[in-house]
Structure 1
Amino acid sequence: MSAKVRIVEDDRVTLRLVERLLQSRGYQVVGTPTAEGAVEHLEQAEFDLLILDVGLPGIDGITFCRELRSKWFLPVIMLTARSGSREKVEGLEVGADDYLTKPFESDELLARVRAQLRRARDYGAQPSRPDRIDLGDVVLDFTERDAVVRGRRAGLTRREFEVLAYLARDPGRPMPREQVFESVWGFAEEFNTNSLDVIIHRIRKKIEEDASRPRYLLTVRGFGYRLSGSAADASTA
């Protein structure tokens, strides 16, 4: 069965172009110009991917993405006419999985759509994935795709959870920054240290007692990160 894609874009020319492009590749596509209309469709049917414009009338894309992450776990590609890094960081902070600046090439959008759908399928198909990984006060819950910190849910976004899940494949082993980025972001793009730093900072705020002195998500200086369940390892952070 072909993937179902939801598009939220208030520019009707762009909306129609993206709809036709994806339909020509066999995707099932539903488009709407407002976030309010998208909520209704998301509550009535399951979708595999959301393409979301930032500059929407009414509820803007940033606000909608933040609210969406409290209810749904589906890949989100944000579209924007803004090229500044601040806007991109803001989108990633609220849970977007990818970010594409207008105008964009059709092939690039298609490649990113395929990459996000592939990542979602690969995650669901992992046969040896555990239900939980216990790191002490922090427990990774793969069923709920969240962390439980001292008995309370952390409220991780999809991207935040996937960074932790990737590091949890081999707890204690340092992972290169570039490898974490490429494996989790799931598309061929030049390594963006700012995007990864934002996610790491947000994870630490949610799982660490003191984000400035982490016990679990540790920095290996000049190399990358590692996940540890031992407080004794915190001296390397």
Structure 2
Amino acid sequence: GDYNLFEAYNGKEALEVINSNNIHLAILDIMMPEMDGIEVLTEIRKERNIPVIFLTAKSEDTDKILGLNIGADDYIVKPFNPVELTARVKSQLRRYMELGAAPASQNLLVIGDIELNDSAKEVHVLGEKINLTPKEYGILRFLMENPGRVFSPKEIYAKVWDERAYGAEGTVAVHIHHLREKIEANPERPRHLKVVWGQGYKME
């Protein structure tokens, strides 16, 4: 399909573009003048859950990106193949758009005081709206659609990332950790998002 491309030459400009247009995906360089990519993403996440792909020159940055709970959906290390970037963009956009395509009967999922409204793409805990990244949302929805069932990190990764599970355990664990911080009253002793040691995760 055709993409409508908006360019920005620094982080501040990028935010202005995102705030004044109907943007569905952002590709951010980590190193940008005015505001760096991480600052820009932090601002984006206050308002939006659009997919964000980071460009980085150093592979060691990738650990930082994943380790920071800032909600990057993917990253690509320079120099990269444009075909690979396009494939990642397509995959992220497809998932973002598909999130709105669940059947009507599946639109409201409730477990305890956690309520997921799939039409509005919103999650409320005790009536309060929680901001989740697209990946966190995907994991939560998948587990809430299958209450009580245990899924391995590989299964969760395959479902939510839609890719082969390379390094799945660590990536999924980081997202589960962030998800708990947001939806559990006491993340250390979760009531709903449970680990089954040696097997995986479940919602109950």
Is the TM-score greater than 0.5?
yes
* Counterpart selection for 1:214 from 184, 190, 193: 190
Name the counterpart of 1:32.
8
Query: Residues 74 and 68 of structure 1: is their aligned pair in 2 closer, same or farther, counting only changes over 3 Å?
Result: same
- The whole-number CA distance in structure 2 between the counterparts of 1:123 and 1:140 is 12
SS of the residue corresponding to residue 78 of structure 1 reads strand
- How big is the shift at 1:147? 2.5
2:82 counterpart (94, 98, 106): 106
Matched residue, 1:176: 152
Offset at residue 153 of structure 1 (A): 2.3
Check whether the contact 1:98–1:185 (CA below 8 A) recurs between aligned residues: no
Contact 2:193 2:202 in 1 (8 A): yes
Distance 1:90 1:33 in 2: 26
Distance 1:133 1:175, change over 3 A: same
Determine which of 76, 84, 93 is the counterpart of 1:117.
93
Counterpart-to-counterpart distance in 2, 1:128 and 1:177: 28
Residues 189 and 61 (structure 1), Cα distance of their counterparts in 2 relative to 1, 3 Å cut: farther
User: CA-atom RMSD, angstroms?
Assistant: 1.9
Residue 133 in structure 1 maps to residue 109 in structure 2: yes
Q: Which amino acid aligns with 2:185?
A: E
Conserved 8 A contact 1:177-1:224: yes
1:28-177 superposed matches below 5 A: 28-84=4-60, 85-90=62-67, 93-128=69-104, 130-177=106-153
- Write the letter of the residue equivalent to 1:67: E
SS of the residue corresponding to residue 168 of structure 1 reads helix
Which residue identity does 2:31 align to in structure 1?
Answer: G
Percent identical among aligned pairs is: 34
Helix, strand or coil: the match of 2:155?
helix
Q: Is the 8 A contact 1:77 1:96 kept in 2?
A: yes
Q: Deviation string for 1:31-53 (max 9, x for gaps)?
A: 11212112222222212221111
Letter in 1 for 2:123: A
Q: Shift in Å at residue 189 of structure 1?
A: 5.6
User: Does the aligned pair in 1 maintain the 2:29–2:54 contact within 8 Å?
Assistant: yes
Q: Structure 1 counterpart of 2:154, which letter?
A: E
Distance 1:189 1:111 in 2: 17
Please report how far the alpha carbon of residue 121 of structure 1 lies from its aligned counterpart in structure 2 after TM superposition.
Answer: 2.5
Normalising by the residue count of structure 2, what TM-score does the alignment of the two structures yield? 0.90
Matches within 5 A, 1:180-191: 180-188=156-164, 190-191=166-167
C-alpha distance in structure 2 between counterparts of 1:118 and 1:103, whole Å: 25
Q: Return the offset for 1:146.
A: 3.4
Which residue identity lines up with residue 34 of structure 2 in the other structure?
G
Residues 80 and 101 in structure 1, CA contact (< 8 A), matched pair in contact too: yes
> TM-score scaled by structure 1?
0.78
User: Would you say 1:195 and 2:171 are equivalent positions?
Assistant: yes
User: What is the deviation of 1:96?
Assistant: 1.1
Q: CA deviation at 1:195?
A: 1.7
Deviation at 1:173, TM superposition (A): 0.9
Matched-pair contact (CA < 8 Å) for 1:36–1:59: yes
- Give 3-state SS (helix, strand or coil) of 1:104's partner: coil
Shift of 1:168: 1.3
Amino acid at match of 2:80: F
Gaps in structure 2 of 5+ consecutive residues: none
